[in-house]
């Protein structure tokens, strides 16, 4: 149930207290932008819950290390379930004691929506930031989402209509990444910043992004390395660069390169994945937010992804998927701009074949870049400010002088 009007009036007289939860790096960045926009209007607002480095830098009091929620896949969640249940119990108790004006769960729906549901039933307003991919799989979750939250903040333009069918308040706010990435990325500046020299006659620069988690790199790193070796043999002069999310990821990927592509020259960069993609001509990457980032950077790409075998079996056996497109650029465009190689298809020969097709088709690459630019314009809406507006209106805190104002 929503919080009472009496609580709303009391909250207007006191300091603004916000509960907020993020479970991974992308959510941490979303949360930091939202906290920053709320604090611009209410400098004395306090924020408590779970956040990563970006949210903590904005003043969020993180009760639990965010990394303890960074679990992917059905099988992986089952293995970590006891700890996740302990964290959830701690959060619910903490928020019930704090009695914040609102609690915002950022992404991580399998965890956050359960916390939000318990809090909403106890009379605390809740917002879920980033709609789960109900258009892609587990569509039945929409009813649970409606019970758990007072408002859903959607990053994709077609999502609010799905909630409207169920009478669930939802708002398209755009995507913060579209606000921060320039409409025309400067490839030359990115290359200069990374110290990349373009020798005479050099061919395209390919960025390799096998994932930011150890499990992803274990499943994809060898295939990416072997595919790069095939491409180097078929397209002499092709160059490769790989941003490494951590020292552990770097060590594991280097071992996989030595095993599957001995002698192949791949420049490694610590972090700086956005600069690396901006500096490249084409990108090979794991599924996820990185596909949208590459699209906003106007980089043609090939996407590959594998999950744990048990997770893949469960998805197929339970028929949880309901869309034939998986990569976000494809979903948004309604066409197959990005080759999607999943599970068994994510093999070196298939990856190399898809890349060779891109390298040899300038018209196709030009079309992809044009469509990516159109998607960028659609998603560039001032998302942080729009998200703050929805949250503050929900708790009757949107400043009167900004009534009707838009980003």
Phi-psi category of 61—alpha, beta or left, where left has phi over 0 and alpha has psi -120 to 50?
beta
Asked if 142 and 208 sit in the same domain, the reply is no
Residue 274 belongs to domain spanning: 180-379
H runs (alpha helix) in 171-301: 176-180, 187-194, 214-234, 247-260, 273-279, 289-296
pLDDT at residue 122 above 90?
yes
Please report which confidence band the pLDDT of residue 329 belongs to, taking 50, 70 and 90 as the band edges: very high
| Whether pLDDT at 168 is above 90 | yes
Task: Sort 314 into a burial class: Cβ within 10 Å, 0-12 / 13-18 / 19+.
Answer: middle
* β-strands 205-209, 170-172 pairing: unpaired
Residues 127 and 226 in one domain: no
Whether residue 100 contacts residue 21, with contact meaning beta carbons closer than 8 Å, is answered with: no
Residue 407: inside a domain = no
> Considering the domain boundaries, does residue 310 fall inside one?
yes
Are 196 and 228 contacting, i.e. CB atoms less than 8 angstroms apart?
A: no
CATH number of the CATH domain containing 309: 3.40.50.2000
Identify which has the larger pLDDT, 278 or 314.
278
Neighbour tally for 56: CB within 10 Å: 17
Confidence band of 214 (pLDDT split at 50, 70, 90): confident
**Residue-wise pLDDT tens digits, 29-43:** 999 999 999 999 999
Is the same domain home to 73 and 186?
no
Residue 114 is assigned to a structural domain of this protein = yes
Residues 223 and 333 in one domain: yes
Number of domains forming the structure of the chain: 2
296: nearest Cα among 378, 214, 178, 197: 178
pLDDT tens across 245-294, in order?
899 999 999 999 999 999 999 999 999 999 999 999 999 999 888 999 99
For residue 83, being part of any structural domain is answered with: yes
68 class by beta-carbon count within 10 Å (0-12 exposed, 13-18 middle, 19+ buried): middle
Q: Are residues 389 and 367 in the same domain?
A: no
**Statement to judge: residues 201 and 144 lie in one domain:** no
Is there a single domain that holds both residue 369 and residue 253? yes
pLDDT number for residue 29? 93
- Provide the pLDDT for residue 191: 96
Whether 386 is in a domain gets the answer: yes
Q: How far apart, in whole angstroms, are the C-alpha atoms of residue 251 and residue 187?
A: 28
Residue 310: is its pLDDT beyond 80? no
State if pTM tops 0.85.
Answer: no
87 vs 78, residue with greater confidence: 87
Taking the chain, what is the end-to-end CA distance rounded to the nearest angstrom? 31
- Both 287 and 328 in one domain: the answer is yes
66 domain residue, yes or no: yes
Residue that wins the pLDDT comparison between 151 and 245? 151
Task: Flag whether 152 is in a domain.
Answer: yes
Q: How far is CA 202 from CA 209, 235, 264, 329, 366, in A?
A: 21, 11, 16, 29, 20
pLDDT at site 289: 84
Question: Lowest-confidence range among 217-231, 292-306, 386-400?
Answer: 386-400
Q: Write down the pLDDT at residue 170.
A: 98
pLDDT band at 323, cuts 50/70/90?
low
393 and 359 part of one domain = no
Q: Is residue 405 scored above 70 in pLDDT?
A: no
Residue 20, phi-psi category: left (phi > 0), alpha (psi -120 to 50), beta (remainder) = beta
Give the pLDDT band of residue 400 (cuts 50, 70, 90). Answer: low
Q: pLDDT of 344-372, one tens digit each?
A: 889 999 999 999 999 999 999 999 999 99
User: What pLDDT does 165 receive?
Assistant: 95
Percent of the residues in the chain that have a pLDDT greater than 70, as a whole number: 86
Distance CA 172, CA 185 (A): 25
| Least trusted range by pLDDT, from 89-103, 141-155, 194-208 | 194-208
Residue 73 has pLDDT above 50, yes or no: no
For residue 109, the Cα-to-chain-centroid distance in whole angstroms is 13
Of 39, 67, 38, the residue nearest 51 (C-alpha): 67
What number of other Cβ atoms are within 10 A of residue 36's Cβ? 17
Are residues 226 and 145 located together in one domain of the fold? no
Q: Are residues 71 and 143 in the same domain?
A: yes
| 163 belongs to a structural domain | yes
**Could you tell me if 11 and 76 lie in one domain?**
yes
Q: Where are the alpha helices (DSSP H) in 141-236?
A: 141-148, 159-164, 176-180, 187-194, 214-234
- Mean pLDDT (the chain) is 88
């Amino acid at each position: 149930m929503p919080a009472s009007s009496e609580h709303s009036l009391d909250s207007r007289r006191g300091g603004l207290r916000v509960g907020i939860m993020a479970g991974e790096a992308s959510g941490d960045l979303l949360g930091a932008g939202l906290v920053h926009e709320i604090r611009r209007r209410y400098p004395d607002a306090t924020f408590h819950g779970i956040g990563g480095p970006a949210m903590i830098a904005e003043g969020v009091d993180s009760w639990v290390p965010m990394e303890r929620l960074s679990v992917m896949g059905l099988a992986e969640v089952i293995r970590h379930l006891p700890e996740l249940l302990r964290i959830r119990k701690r959060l619910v108790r903490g928020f019930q004691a704090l009695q914040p004006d609102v609690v915002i769960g950022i992404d991580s729906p399998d965890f956050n929506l359960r916390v939000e549901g318990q809090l909403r039933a106890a009379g605390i307003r809740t917002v879920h930031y980033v709609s789960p991919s109900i258009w892609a799989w587990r569509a039945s979750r929409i009813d649970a989402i409606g019970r758990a939250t007072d408002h859903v903040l959607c990053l994709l333009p077609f999502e609010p209509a799905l909630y409207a069918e169920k009478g669930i308040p939802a708002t398209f706010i755009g995507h913060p990444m579209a606000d921060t990435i320039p409409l025309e990325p400067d490839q030359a500046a990115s290359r200069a910043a990374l110290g990349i020299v373009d020798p005479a006659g050099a061919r395209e620069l390919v960025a390799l992004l096998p994932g930011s988690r150890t499990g992803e790199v274990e499943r994809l790193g060898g295939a990416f390395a072997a595919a790069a070796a095939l491409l180097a043999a078929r397209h002499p002069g092709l160059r490769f660069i790989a941003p490494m999310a951590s020292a552990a990821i770097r060590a594991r990927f280097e071992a996989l390169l030595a095993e599957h592509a001995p002698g192949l020259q791949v420049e490694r960069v610590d972090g700086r994945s956005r600069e690396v993609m901006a500096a490249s001509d084409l990108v090979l990457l794991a599924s996820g937010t990185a596909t949208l980032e590459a699209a906003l950077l106007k980089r043609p790409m090939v996407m590959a992804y594998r999950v744990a075998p048990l997770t893949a079996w469960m998805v197929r056996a339970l028929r949880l998927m309901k869309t034939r497109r998986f990569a976000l650029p494809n979903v948004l465009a309604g066409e197959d701009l990005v080759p999607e190689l999943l599970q068994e298809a994510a093999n070196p020969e298939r990856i190399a074949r898809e890349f060779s097709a891109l390298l040899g088709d300038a018209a196709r690459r030009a079309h992809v870049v044009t469509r990516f630019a159109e998607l960028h314009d659609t998603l560039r809406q001032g998302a942080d400010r729009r998200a703050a507006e929805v949250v503050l209106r929900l708790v009757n805190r949107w400043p009167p002088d900004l009534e009707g104002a838009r980003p």
